[in-house]
Amino acid sequence: MPAILLERLPLPSLHTYISFSVLFLALATFYAHQTVTAKLSFDPNTQLEEELGLPPELTNLTLPYGEDEHFYNMLYIMRIETWCIWTLVNSCYCVLILLGKLIQNIVFGELRVSEQQHLKDKFWNFVFYKFIFIFGVMNVQSMDEVVLWIAWFSGLGFLHLLTQLSKDRFEYLSFSPATPRSAHIKLLSLLVTILILCTVILSGCVWVGMNVSLTIFAFLAAESVLLLLRCLYVMVRYVIQLYDMSLEGVWEGRAIFVYYTELVFELIDLAVNFGHHLHMLLYGNIFLSMASLVICMQLRFLFYEFQRRLKRHKNYLRVVKDMESKFPMATQENLEQNADDCAICWERMESARKLPCGHLFHNSCLRSWLEQDTSCPTCRTTLSETNEREDPRPRQPGAPNGGEVIAPQPNQGTTNHFFHFDGSRYVSWLPSFSVEVTHTNLLPGQQAHATQTSQLDNMAREVQVVFPNIPQSVIMEDLRITRSIDLTIDNILEGRVTVPPVSLTSGGHQRNDSSGGTSNSSSSSEGATSQPLSLPPPTLPPAPSSAIPSSQLFSAAPLESQSQPQLPSSHQDLQFGELPSKSVTQQAAARSSEFSQSAGLPLTMTGGRFSKSATERMSMLDQRKKAMIEQARRNFELKQERQLSTESASAVVNPRISSEDNGASLGRLETQTEEIPSNIAQESSVRGRDAADSEDRVRRRALLLEATQRRLEGASGRNSSGLSS
């Protein structure tokens, strides 16, 4: 590839290049100046010309301008002399590069790696194709023409690169919520400038078309139209993006807008490009050359792109049609019943579509999801029965990846057959899809009116075992929608199930529940700020025990952590259990106050606030991370200490065996991982020996520990219950 080869060339640094360019330009100017003065000061008819050392072609040269127009004479000389022309061209490039650098400094600042890479690729690609165009298609011979074409493409390429850079930068900026306004303004004004330049160029093309030739006009116009389109596209996208970001809430029409902009621009771009290349192919009479091969390849690529785009659009239209015909818009009543936000974008729903399974989503969110999958995002009910019919190819039963998977869902009493066909593994243009067939007796439309089957009863009972305080009717209600115990439990855990307030005993609870009611950001977060001990959303719903005053809350904590064993329970628990060395009660008490402070720190930071400023958010996040690691380290060290002491305690019971055990296991470990420092092994065995005479001490310490622990529980039970839940 030319690009790879050229990348490896030792390119000089910008400074050297500029200084050399300036030097050459100075030389050329000096030469022209000398020639002109020499020419003017000597009579062309004298014999002295050979002695002056002027080149022979200059002897016959007559200067077109008079003596007063020294500068024009110089330019004339420079134009005639070949090396001077190249020097001038080079200086133009130098100026262009400097201009580019300037723009980069003003608008973009430091370029990111991916932007640099894109720029490089685009540049060499451009150079390659334009080279083919000039020498392959146009078959330019004369120097002047070459220079003109080079000038044209340099300017065009420059603008192309700037557009590409703007596009990359725009995409990058759209990844961040906290871009300063000035960055947007700079980028947009650059785009506007490019746009204006494009129109200027285009009108220049029209002039050329009227005065020179229509073919040339077509070539030039196609190029500039492409540039114009790309620039305009970035701008439109940018404006849409900015408008959307400034908008609170959802802009329902946004997705459609973006989609059609993209579609229209892409199609026009491809069409123009295709026409341009076709024109090249037909114009040049170059059917049997390398250039034609390159152009044909390009044509083929463009054609497939076009086709692919149209196919995608067809799919899109089908999805939209399907959706509109099958899923009605939710009524106002539905919306009111459903207090939740749209589960896809987490924004409020002013209008929504309702799926047969009863779940609501934004129109645009649902559509973009249905473009890639045909099941309900929430409950995974298959929505499209037409999917199988639409596949023109028969499924390949024996294919390794076209297999059928039967996934029985034990609690549901239904079987799901899952088919997956990955066509792209065979031929690149084959579609990949997966179909899930759910065998249920209930038709989707009737689900809502399902009678209370005994199966449902059983499921409800099972759920109620886990959540005794939630009325059965509520569980049944949810089960009818989800038809799965797991999903219902999930729903309850995340507060999606609204429990009538009757079942709640204390005010604290209602608060918690209301904060869990919307599993999403805003309302729950406010609850958390005012109430540092609020439960995080995936906790259990208010169990009756936790309604009792604080001292008993702590005893409820282990219960909760039992039911959710995968979550680490409170660090505080750990710490209370792990004060082995400082067994003096006073010390422990002092430590407890110290600890409640240190525990309070991450608490206020974690349950704290969500700053509006990006830098503050970053620093808060960093702090939280550090605090977590710090705490984990402390816990780890404490635990290790305790482990050593318990090891020594067990060593008392049977010192020989346990120490042997230790040695053996640690020895194995060392050979296996070579990571455990050997001093631990030594330490523990030493301790094992010491332990024999400190048996009593250990026991006493353990008793003391327990006592202090109990006291501490009383003191800060409230705090720890908050943590442990």
Partner 1 sequence: MAGSALKRLMAEYKQLTLNPPEGIIAGPVDEENFFEWEALIMGPQDTCFEGGVFPARLTFPSDYPLSPPKMKFTCEIFHPNIYADGRVCISILHAPGDDPMGYETSAERWSPVQSVEKILLSVVSMLSEPNDESAANVDAAKTWRDDRKGFEEIARVTVRKSLGL
| Residue 87 or 539 having the CB closest to partner 1 | 539
Could you tell me the smallest distance in angstroms from the CB atom of residue 448 to partner 1?
A: 20
Q: Between residue 385 and residue 444, which ones bind partner 1 under the rule CB under 8 A? A: 401, 403, 405, 407, 409, 416, 418, 420, 422, 432-434, 436
Print the binding letters for residues 550-569 with partner 1: x by CB under 8 A, - otherwise. -----------x---xxxxx
Could you tell me the smallest distance in angstroms from the CB atom of residue 232 to partner 1?
A: 18
Could you tell me the smallest distance in angstroms from the CB atom of residue 628 to partner 1?
A: 6
Could you tell me the smallest distance in angstroms from the CB atom of residue 515 to partner 1?
A: 8
Q: Between residue 247 and residue 266, which ones bind partner 1 under the rule CB under 8 A? A: 254-255, 258
Give DSSP secondary structure letters for 394-422. PP-TT-TTS-EEEEEETTTTEEEEEEEEE
* Tokens 């123009």, residue located: 272
* Tokens 């980069």, residue located: 104
Could you tell me the smallest distance in angstroms from the CB atom of residue 621 to partner 1?
A: 4
The gap from C-alpha 281 to its chain's centroid, in whole angstroms, comes to 41
Q: Between residue 145 and residue 174, which ones bind partner 1 under the rule CB under 8 A? A: 171-172, 174
| Residue 289 or 368 having the CB closest to partner 1 | 368
| Residue 12 or 568 having the CB closest to partner 1 | 568
Phi, psi of 55 (to 5 degrees): -60, 150
Q: Residues 265, 163: contact at Cβ < 8 Å?
A: no
Query: Using the rule CB under 8 A, which residue among 154, 241, 598, 650 binds partner 1?
Result: 241
The dihedral built from the CA positions of residue 657, 658, 663 and 664, taken in this order, carries a sign that is positive
Could you tell me the smallest distance in angstroms from the CB atom of residue 396 to partner 1?
A: 15
Query: Using the rule CB under 8 A, which residue among 75, 89, 93, 244 binds partner 1?
Result: 244
Count of residues in contact with partner 1, rule CB under 8 A: 86
Q: Residues 28, 36: contact at Cβ < 8 Å?
A: no
CA–CA separation, 716 and 685 (whole Å) = 37
Query: Using the rule CB under 8 A, which residue among 339, 632, 657, 707 binds partner 1?
Result: 632
Query: Using the rule CB under 8 A, which residue among 344, 450, 644, 652 binds partner 1?
Result: 344
639 binds partner 1 (CB under 8 A): yes
Could you tell me the smallest distance in angstroms from the CB atom of residue 23 to partner 1?
A: 41
Strand partners, 406: 417
Longest dimension (CA), the chain: 126
Q: Between residue 12 and residue 71, which ones bind partner 1 under the rule CB under 8 A? A: none
**Which of 60, 61, 59 has the alpha carbon at shortest distance from 76?**
61
Could you tell me the smallest distance in angstroms from the CB atom of residue 175 to partner 1?
A: 5
Q: Between residue 642 and residue 661, which ones bind partner 1 under the rule CB under 8 A? A: none
Print the binding letters for residues 602-631 with partner 1: x by CB under 8 A, - otherwise. ----xxxxx---xx-xx-xx--xx--xx--
| Residue 22 or 567 having the CB closest to partner 1 | 567
**Which of 409, 505, 518, 493 has the alpha carbon at shortest distance from 455?**
409
Torsional class of 704: left (φ above 0), alpha (ψ -120 to 50), beta (otherwise): alpha
Could you tell me the smallest distance in angstroms from the CB atom of residue 602 to partner 1?
A: 10
With b for 16 or more beta-carbon neighbours within 10 A and e for fewer, the 147-181 pattern comes to: bebbebbbebbbbbbbbbbbbbbbeebeeeeebee
| Residue 157 or 542 having the CB closest to partner 1 | 542
Give DSSP secondary structure letters for 197-260. HHHHHHHHHHHHHHHT-HHHHHHHHHHHHHHHHHHHHHHHHHHHHHHHHHSSS--TTHHHHHHH
| Residue 395 or 625 having the CB closest to partner 1 | 625
Neighbours of 23 (CB within 10 A): 11
Query: Using the rule CB under 8 A, which residue among 668, 689, 697, 699 binds partner 1?
Result: 668
Query: Using the rule CB under 8 A, which residue among 122, 279, 318, 380 binds partner 1?
Result: 380
| Residue 39 or 571 having the CB closest to partner 1 | 571
